[in-house]
Structure 1
Amino acid sequence: MRREHAAPRDGWEKTIEGQGLAYHRAAHPAGLSRPYWDESVHYVFSMDEVEELERQVEELHEMCLHAAAHVVESGRFADFAIPEWAWEDVARSWERRDDHLYARFDLRYDGTGPAKLLEYNADTPTSLVESSVVQWFWLQDVFPGDDQWNSVHERLIDRWRELRLPSGPAHFAFTSADETGEEAMTVAYLQETAEQAGLATVAVAMEDIGWDALNRTFVDTEGRVMRSVFKLYPWEWMLSDEFGRHAVRHSTWIEPLWKVLLSNKALLAVLWELNPGHPNLLPAYLDGPRDLTSFISKPLLGREGASMRIVTPEGVQETAGQYGREGYVHQGFEALPAFEGQRPVLGAWMVADEAAGLGIRETTGYITDDTSSFVPHRIET
């Protein structure tokens, strides 16, 4: 693994916008000089490295599924701040093995040892368009003789064909509250993969979904029954909504309800409890940092690096935010590796239960937040 430089393509902005990354200008807070999509640099891997990372990621996923089973069997829903009224519904969703689509592991990796799990984005992961499509076309244009860890697009299409969806069109829901356009474009891309798989689809904003009390079903703006819904909207928000009690029992949702167990950072502590000392895990606890001298406290349901606290012998660093009312997990802290002053986080994609690709975001700080830039990668052949 190494970081290399290359000249950006002429007109790269229009190129990536035409490939679906229309939100790249809005993805960053104002005032940053570095673009969100930065093809002036990229990371290079060997095929052996990628194959070993694939193995590790799939092992981590299996461990996560085992952890979910443990939580359901032992009834540890309170550790995940799940409202008590939803516990039985989460358990039933898991016991039915409701179909799931995709997820993204965030990993610390420096090319010299096992990857370390930072968190699992298993419900509403983004940076999908740039991982699946945009960096693939960059590779074809700039390094056509090389390869890339990237079968996301093909695997998504295949997965849609495998899903056991009820009759009628599949609805694709985004939130109109997102001002960057990233979520709408992510949903539009996933809708496109479903259509390529032969599904009939309908787009809808989460805020426009209605509840037909007489027939006890969700409906779209045209009054159509919403039998299956892909939603880029986290389950914890749905459970806190007045219609959450209907959502857990009506319609087929993707991602399914049991994903609340994998998208919650309490998972990190359960993984460590069940697999102490595993080379791909960092120590993590729910009841405090225990004997850790360097640790990071993460809100169970935080996003974009907000409301975090890093404690080391050298001092304390905190990020702003309003998360954490539901509690924190305290995870052993290992600083992200530095490559030319930038610290990458590897986003390893899962489609269903198989590793499918890689996206890399990097920043100068220890926490990857909304100031990070996405950079492509290639496999040297």
Structure 2
Amino acid sequence: MRRVHRSPRNGWETIVEAQGLVYGTPARDGGGNARPYWDESVHYEFEMDEILALEADVELLHSMCLKAVEQVILLERYADFGLPEWSWPHIAESWRRSDPHVYGRFDLRYDGRRPAKLLEYNADTPTTVLEAAILQWHWLTDLYPEDDQWNSLHEKLVERWGAVKGTLPGSELHFTWSSADASGEDNVTTAYLQETAAEAGFDTVALAIEEVGFDTELGRFVDLAEAPIEAIFKLYPWEWVLDDDFGKRVVESLPSTMWIEPLWKTLLSNKAILAVLWEMYPGHPNLLPAFLDDPGMLTEYVRKPKLGREGANMTVVGGGFETATGGIYGEEGYVYQLLDPLPEFDGMRPALGAWIVGDESAGLGIRETAGLITDDGAAFVPHRIPQS
């Protein structure tokens, strides 16, 4: 694994905009100055052996996570996840029904020398899928057509939707996101996923989640045309859904209205799962020690809110220093994870976002930042696997 510099393509801004990247505030470089969010002036190279090892790690972590969900439900440990008590039986039923799942993103620490370490699992509303599946693939084919890339995301998403199609009522699938996202990222990400579902044969309908209606007489969700919603993909976190009366109607509508990602993923998208994994697999080479609500034996650690996003409300405690980020999260409790700083390449620290689609590893996206925390100032950079 190494970081490589090269000149961007002529007109790269127009190219990536045409491919859908019409959102994103500038990222930050090591000096705090603005840099492009999509930055193709650098990329990472991997050897095929490294990629094969990472693929195996991701599928193993996925299997371990499913076993962890089974244990949490068996032992009824929902309180450790800060989830409302009324939702607990619905989560268990969603798991027992095997409500279908589509995709997720494991965020990993990896330096090419030691096994990959799981930092967190974005299992419910992972983004950067357009960048990983489309933008960096076209970058590769434009500049390195003879090389390879860990990237079968698009094909696997289409294949997965095809497999899910047989488990859903009808062939119509709604797609929703929140119009409160001013950046437009959620809208574009949802539109891309809608495109992959349409390619798999679904009739698709898009609408903001604020426009999802409920017919009180018939007791069902409806769209703007007052047509029933029988299956819907949401790029909207389950913890936000469960926060009000709308969420009660959502979970009570299951399974007549199927919501994707499924309700049982509330357990995997919550950082409490990191502590459960460590309890189940202590010393595992792909895990970092993690504990619920207390650092335990850790003297250097990262305190993460169980439902935090974009690096918010995190505290890093190391040898002789402590730093923290602001935000709105933490009321639900914290997880304490061993501090294992991201590796440094040219003053930047890459976090690997390894994708799972269905139950198969599917690709890699890389975000890098100068600091210890991968936050909303991180840039997305492509990667390749040289063939010579």
Identify the TM-score tier after normalising by the shorter chain: over 0.9
Distance across 2 between alignment mates of 1:313 and 1:290: 17
Structure 1 stretches of 4+ moved >2 Å: 26-29
Indicate which of 359, 378, 384 corresponds to 1:378. 384
1:113-128 equivalence runs, <5 A: 113-128=114-129
Counterpart of 1:200 in structure 2 is 203
1:170-249 equivalence runs, <5 A: 170-249=173-252
TM-score with structure 1 length normalisation? Answer: 0.98
> Is 2:347 aligned against 1:341?
yes
C-alpha contact (below 8 Å) 1:168/1:227 kept by paired residues: no
Distance across 1 between alignment mates of 2:105 and 2:355: 4
Indicate which of 317, 326, 332 corresponds to 2:323. 317
Counterpart of 1:21 in structure 2 is 21
Distance across 1 between alignment mates of 2:226 and 2:33: 44
1:45-64 equivalence runs, <5 A: 45-64=46-65
TM-score with structure 2 length normalisation? Answer: 0.96
Structure 1, unaligned runs of 5 or more: none
> Is 2:299 aligned against 1:293?
yes
Flag the 1:39–1:328 CA change in 2: closer, same or farther, 3 A.
same
Cα RMSD between the aligned structures? 1.0
309-318 or 295-304, larger mean C-alpha shift:
309-318
C-alpha contact (below 8 Å) 2:16/2:135 kept by paired residues: yes
Counterpart of 2:146 in structure 1 is 145
Q: Secondary structure at the match of 1:249?
A: helix
Structure 2, unaligned runs of 5 or more: none
Distance across 1 between alignment mates of 2:125 and 2:275: 21
Distance across 2 between alignment mates of 1:282 and 1:300: 16
Counterpart of 1:12 in structure 2 is 12
Counterpart of 1:130 in structure 2 is 131
How far off its partner does 1:287 sit? 3.5
How far off its partner does 1:168 sit? 4.7
Counterpart of 2:82 in structure 1 is 81
- 1:201-249 superposed Cα distances (whole Å, 9 cap, x missing partner): 0000000111111111111111011110000000000000211111012
Distance across 1 between alignment mates of 2:358 and 2:86: 28
Which amino acid is the alignment partner of residue 17 of structure 2? Answer: E
> Is 2:102 aligned against 1:101?
yes
Distance across 2 between alignment mates of 1:72 and 1:322: 28
Which amino acid is the alignment partner of residue 140 of structure 1? Answer: T
> Is 2:67 aligned against 1:66?
yes
Counterpart of 1:271 in structure 2 is 277
Which amino acid is the alignment partner of residue 240 of structure 2? Answer: W
Which amino acid is the alignment partner of residue 105 of structure 1? Answer: F
Which amino acid is the alignment partner of residue 58 of structure 1? Answer: E
> Is 2:302 aligned against 1:258?
no
C-alpha contact (below 8 Å) 1:27/1:182 kept by paired residues: no
- 1:142-186 superposed Cα distances (whole Å, 9 cap, x missing partner): 111100000000000000110011115200001100111110000
> Is 2:96 aligned against 1:92?
no
Distance across 2 between alignment mates of 1:339 and 1:44: 12
Distance across 2 between alignment mates of 1:367 and 1:224: 44
C-alpha contact (below 8 Å) 1:8/1:39 kept by paired residues: yes
- 1:302-352 superposed Cα distances (whole Å, 9 cap, x missing partner): 000000001112211000111000000000011110000000000000001
Distance across 1 between alignment mates of 2:340 and 2:123: 22
Q: How much identity, in percent, do the aligned residues show?
A: 58
How far off its partner does 1:32 sit? 4.4
Distance across 2 between alignment mates of 1:41 and 1:27: 16
Which amino acid is the alignment partner of residue 162 of structure 1? Answer: A
Distance across 2 between alignment mates of 1:339 and 1:362: 10
Distance across 1 between alignment mates of 2:13 and 2:68: 43
Aligned pair count?
379
C-alpha contact (below 8 Å) 1:27/1:180 kept by paired residues: no
How far off its partner does 1:282 sit? 0.4
Distance across 1 between alignment mates of 2:268 and 2:209: 22
Q: Secondary structure at the match of 1:304?
A: coil
Distance across 1 between alignment mates of 2:59 and 2:26: 30
Counterpart of 1:364 in structure 2 is 370
Q: Secondary structure at the match of 2:34?
A: coil
Distance across 1 between alignment mates of 2:4 and 2:293: 42
Q: Secondary structure at the match of 1:159?
A: helix
